[in-house]
Amino acid sequence: MTATVDQIKTIAVAGAGAMGAGIAQVFAQAGYSVLVYDLSAAQLDKAKAGISDNLTKAVAKGKLAEADKSAALARIQYTAELSTLKADLIIEAIVEKLEVKKELFSKLAEINGAATILASNTSSLPITQIARGIPQPGRVVGMHFFNPAHIMQLVEVISGAETSADVLEVMKALTVKIGKALVVAKDSPGFIVNRVARHYYVESLKAMEERVTTMENVDALMESAGFKMGPFRLMDALGNDVNFAVTSSLYDSFHQDPKFRPSRIQQQKVDAGHLGRKTGRGFYSYE
């Protein structure tokens, strides 16, 4: 089992969506060699272009030197072959479905040594459940970034029932080393941020369902109160599919506690493919 943070040299990220690409960028800028995996070659191309665009914007704003941008880009490789996904630390950022994550970690355990740490970027699923049945479950840990990962400073590190103390210490030290703000959370549904923040969305959706006011009013009021983005604009930015999946997961994890009930309005958005900014239409239109 990896004993110190200095033994982490290579990072692999499974999933080249917005979160996966952001996580890859964070580690590349911190000096690590990064391998990004996705089943879709098109998604890998999109991730590569997105990372380059993010770094170009940082250079334009004077936050990053051109040489550092080039160095970060050179540290990232891309693959659609799961068999090549080998590293000291692998972070999954795939769909928020327990069985899919477990299946991926089982395959990764077969092609990596026992010292490889398997981290999940899950925002709501219990780490203990993800680790169950995985060889050497002590190496399974939560490392939850927030979107956009290359900008948001907070990272939740979550220890499951089987997570070893050594792995937890490595992940804590690594989070600090890459310049993020660390919080250690217990393995409970939604951890800290998503459990507390869930009602920012849920109550806003309930107000819309009950026709208390319009979504535009809710957003304007919350932004005037100091929030950077109102709940509906934020759901569109995060992705309605992602937001709905997290709410549904918490609802089930808390044994259908009514306060976590997913919104029928948001489910309809997901069913219609109105996922937010990434599809050009969500609660608002971006076409």
Any catalytic annotation for residue 194? yes
Instruction: Select which of 54, 144, 159, 253 is catalytic.
Output: 144
Instruction: Select which of 54, 112, 123, 240 is catalytic.
Output: 123
Instruction: Select which of 54, 112, 124, 194 is catalytic.
Output: 194
Instruction: Select which of 156, 240, 243, 249 is catalytic.
Output: 156
Any catalytic annotation for residue 144? yes
Any catalytic annotation for residue 150? no
Residue type, 21: A
Q: Is 33 exposed, middle or buried (0-12, 13-18, 19+ CB in 10 A)?
A: middle
Question: Which of the residues are catalytic?
Answer: 123, 144, 156, 194
